[in-house]
Structure 1
Amino acid sequence: MKHIDTLHYITHLLTDYPIAQQVEDVCCGGCRWIQLRMKHADTEERLATAQAIYPLVDRYRAKLIINDDAYVAKAVNAHGVHIGAEDMHPSDARHLLGPDKIIGCTANTLDDVLRLSQYDIDYIGLGPFRFTPTKEKLSPVLGHEGIHRIIAAARTHGIRIPIIAIGGIAIGDIDRLMGTGIYGVAVSKAIHGTMDKVAACRAITAQLTAHNPFPTINYESSITNHRSTKDERHLKNSR
């Protein structure tokens, strides 16, 4: 069973705040999940950055997840990849990376969640929570109500895969968001946009721990149960 952290930090290309320093700060603040996101970089630049920060991530015993690029994830032996709707198919990513690596996917609707849960993935990023300038092709904004509605419906379908809220989340949103049933949050500006990045990270970590002190889901059992339920429905419908 793979452990999925409740706090995911997504790097952002900033001229005055290098990615290596972002990683250092959030790791000092207690974050142990770094998603390397470099949307406008070419493969060589993304690979070089991943190689440069890997020793730092490893020193803190954190996880390095590569956004969008399973080939770079494989090249640097990262812990996994996060893929969007227009990126590599989850099954192709699993075939490329193997059974031990983490694969996360982005969802915006209940149909997305139900579809993605059929594949061998480890978590789903659900959003955007609100408008965020870090995404150029932004899906419809969900807000608290949208996220709560999708998660509640997913649970009625037997989906127990960890669902991470993403997209424009601020520190002040987290307490209410955790009431929607999400497993955790993925943030960027909520940390890098503050004066004291380490303190901001620690504050978010404390909030998440208060809501979910033991964030462990037996995903293998849950996906087996979900698939068994689908098989039972299929048998009933075929009779």
Structure 2
Amino acid sequence: MLFNKDMLRLYAITDRECLRGRDIVSQVEQAVLGGATIIQLRDKGLSQSEVIDTAKRLLPVCHSFGVPLIVNDDYTAALESGADGVHVGAEDASVAEIRRIAGEGFIIGATAKTVSQALLAQEQGADYLGVGAVFPSPTKTNAIRITPQQLTEICGSVHIPAVAIGGINRENVHVIKGCGQCGIAVVSAVFAAEDVKGAAADMRKAAEEVCS
């Protein structure tokens, strides 16, 4: 799938605890119907084979709406499942290594908490950045926080698009308006909702209001 920055507008990340036993495929479909423009499969409790199997189940849903599927951390699982890309942090395989193995056309996102990390990811061939945590995150309680000013600096330091992540919801999203991100990444704001489709629609509207 050919990547473009519009795919990042509402970046929805799955979470098993948020789903509370609900079927991941049906809930991802609801998120996409509501306006999610990209889906990341993130579940550190799954084995690699389970990640591959789950990604294969999600792909037909995502692709039927033209939405890319990204796998968190494990580029091998992403490649074996046929997913569109991977998102990696500083502790995972380097963007350069993944690009060398996966080639062009495979979407690679990288977490950046500093300008230097952002520049390195861009140099190594990342397609986009995930920048944060911009607010306290209920799903990553130990995540390092960054300020709106730092978000602005990081977004402005690179020419690849960036998505803001970390504890974003309808009540606080206005704080990052004008910081330069082209999208927002959310977990609980969509998947913890009783009405996932409605929550996604609400967050998509918010994303349109605060992203450039």
Question: In structure 2, how many angstroms separate the alpha carbons of the residues matched to 1:210 and 1:139?
Answer: 26
Offset at residue 210 of structure 1 (A): 4.0
Give the 5 Å matches for 1:42-191: 42-135=47-140, 138-152=142-156, 154=157, 159-191=158-190
Contact conserved, 2:155 with 2:161, CA < 8 A, in 1?
no
Offset at residue 33 of structure 1 (A): 0.5
Normalization by structure 2: what TM-score? 0.89
Contact conserved, 2:170 with 2:203, CA < 8 A, in 1?
yes
Alignment root-mean-square deviation, CA: 1.9
**Structure 2 residues without counterparts, runs of 5 or longer:** none
| AA partner of residue 48 (structure 2) | T
Offset at residue 74 of structure 1 (A): 0.8
**Partner residue, 1:10:** 13
Cα displacement string for residues 51-80 of structure 1 (whole angstroms, at most 9, x for unaligned residues): 111111122221101111111111122111
Question: Could you tell me the percent identity over the aligned residues?
Answer: 31
Contact conserved, 2:75 with 2:86, CA < 8 A, in 1?
yes
Offset at residue 197 of structure 1 (A): 1.6
Offset at residue 92 of structure 1 (A): 1.2
Please say which of residues 193-202 and 182-191 is displaced more in the overlay: 193-202
Contact conserved, 1:178 with 1:184, CA < 8 A, in 2?
no
| AA partner of residue 13 (structure 1) | R
Cα displacement string for residues 105-160 of structure 1 (whole angstroms, at most 9, x for unaligned residues): 00111221122121111000011112223226x342113233234334x2xxxx21
Contact conserved, 1:68 with 1:83, CA < 8 A, in 2?
yes
Question: In structure 2, how many angstroms separate the alpha carbons of the residues matched to 1:61 and 1:150?
Answer: 29
**Structure 1 residues without counterparts, runs of 5 or longer:** 216-239
Larger Rg: 1
Question: In structure 2, how many angstroms separate the alpha carbons of the residues matched to 1:140 and 1:50?
Answer: 28
| AA partner of residue 174 (structure 1) | V
Number of aligned residues = 207
Say if 1:161 and 1:17 are closer, same or farther in 2 by CA, change over 3 A.
Answer: same
Contact conserved, 2:133 with 2:165, CA < 8 A, in 1?
yes
Question: In structure 1, how many angstroms separate the alpha carbons of the residues matched to 2:24 and 2:65?
Answer: 16
Please say which of residues 16-25 and 37-46 is displaced more in the overlay: 16-25
Cα displacement string for residues 9-33 of structure 1 (whole angstroms, at most 9, x for unaligned residues): 0000133223212211101102121
Offset at residue 175 of structure 1 (A): 2.9
- Which structure has the higher relative contact order (CA within 8 Å, separation 6+)? 2
Please say which of residues 176-185 and 82-91 is displaced more in the overlay: 176-185
**Partner residue, 2:27:** 22
